[in-house]
Structure 1
Amino acid sequence: MQRHIERMRARWVELERCIGELDREIDHHVQQDSACKRLLEVPGIGRLTASALVATVGNALAFKNGRQLSAWLGLVPRQHSSGGKTVLRGISKRGDAYLRRMLVHGARAVLRHSATKKNAVSNWLHALSVRANKNVVIVAMANKLARIAWALLNKGQRYIEPAAK
C-alpha cells in the first residue's frame, strides 16, 4: 500500500509541475499578444479567458456584430415562436462551452465586486438585479462581456470604462 501511495504522490507532483509549466506558457503568450492585453483591461476577463477568446475567435471578423458572437457562444435566449407569438426561454447553450463557462465565471466576479464600485456597469447590474434573478443577471453580464470582447477584437481598440451616470 505504501508503494502505491508513493507512486500516486509522484504522479501528483509531476502533474503539478506540468500545470505550472503550462501556466507560465499561457502567461508568456498573454504578455506577448496585443489582443490579449486589450482584453485583460476588461473587468471580468482574466488571462485564461483572454487567451481562450483570442485562440478561438481570433480577430472576430467571422462575426458581423457582438450579438452574433454571443449567440455563437450560447449566451442569448432561446426562442420558441408559434402563431406570431414569441416566447423567450433560457440560454441556448450552443457553441463553445468552455468560453461560455469562463465568461459566466467572469460575470459572476464582476457582479460580486460591483457593490463596491460606482460606474455605469455596476449601476446597470444593480438595476437589473432588482428586477431579475441572480443567474439571469450573471448571464446578461456574460453576454455583455462577450459583446465588449467582440468590439475590442474586431476594432482593435482599448477598453474604456464607462463613467457613472
Structure 2
Amino acid sequence: MISGRGQKSLTQCVWRALEDAENELTMVMCDLLADQMEELDRLNERLQSLDQQVEQVSHAFATCRHLMVIEGVGVVSATQLYSALGDGRAFQNGRQASAYIGLTPKQYSSGSSANMRGIGRTGQVSLKCALIRDAHAAIRVVGDKQDARSQWLRALVSRVGKTGRPLPWPTKTYALRGRCFAGKRLTVTIFMRSMR
C-alpha cells in the first residue's frame, strides 16, 4: 500500500484497500488496519475537543483577546503567551519578557566587539515557534495594505529579506497594539534563519 502525504490521502488509501476484496491483505491485517483507522478517528475528535477548549480559554481572558487583535497572532499563540507571561507585571520591560521566552539573540562578546548571532535553543521552544509562525503569517498577508505597520513591514522585508538576517518582529506590532502586558511593549527579535 502506497499513500500520498497527509492524513486525508492516507485514510482514503487505507479504506480503499479495506474495501477491495481482491487484494492480498489477510483478515488479521484488515482488522488491524480498521482498528487503527478507528483510533485515528478518535484522536481527531479529541484534537477537535482540545482545540475548542483552548479557544474558550483564550476568549475568557482579556489579555488573550487583546493579543488576538494583532495580525498573525492566533488563539494558540495568544494562550501560550498569556500562560507564559501572565499579565506581564513580573517583567520591568519587554526585553526581559523576550529574554524569558528565549527570543533574544545570543551574544558573543570579546573586549569592545559584540556579535549577536541567532536565537538560542533555550527558553520556551513551542512559544518561540508559535511566534515565528505568526511573524511569517503576518508577512504573507501584508499584500498592498497601506497602513503604517504594513508599509514598515514591507520596507523591512525588502531591506533585510525574509531569511538570513535578523528581523525585528513583532516589536512594532506590540508597540502599536499595545498595552497587552501591564502597559509594557513586548520586544521580540526573531532570526528568520532559525526557521531553516
Distance 1:81 1:60, change over 3 A: same
Partner of 1:22: 50
2:30 corresponds to 1:2: yes
Q: Is residue 67–residue 73 contact of structure 2 (8 Å, CA) maintained in 1?
A: yes
Q: Which runs of 5+ in 1 are unaligned?
A: 157-165
- Match of 1:105, as an amino acid? R
Q: Which runs of 5+ in 2 are unaligned?
A: 1-28, 185-196
Q: How far apart, in 2, do the equivalents of 1:83 and 1:41 lie?
A: 43
Secondary structure of the corresponding residue to residue 153 of structure 1: coil
Partner of 2:96: 68
Q: Deviations over 1:1-49 (max 9, x none)?
A: 1011011011101101111111111121122211111111111110011
Q: Structure 2 length normalisation: TM-score?
A: 0.71
Q: Return the offset for 1:60.
A: 1.2
Larger deviation, residues 82-91 vs 15-24:
82-91
Q: Return the offset for 1:139.
A: 4.5
Partner of 1:58: 86
2:164 corresponds to 1:126: no
Q: Deviations over 1:99-155 (max 9, x none)?
A: 111111010011111122112222222222222131357852245557778841223
Matches within 5 A, 1:121-160: 121-135=149-163, 139-142=167-170, 144=172, 151-155=179-183
Matches within 5 A, 1:36-47: 36-47=64-75
Alignment RMSD: 2.4
Q: Structure 1 length normalisation: TM-score?
A: 0.83
- Match of 1:80, as an amino acid? Y
Task: Choose between structure 1 and 2: higher helix proportion.
Answer: 1
Q: Which has the higher contact order (CA 8 A, sep 6+)?
A: 1
Q: Is residue 40–residue 46 contact of structure 1 (8 Å, CA) maintained in 2?
A: yes
Matches within 5 A, 1:73-92: 73-92=101-120
Identity across matched positions, percent = 29
Q: How far apart, in 2, do the equivalents of 1:77 and 1:124 lie?
A: 22
Secondary structure of the corresponding residue to residue 10 of structure 1: helix
Q: Which has the larger radius of gyration?
A: 2
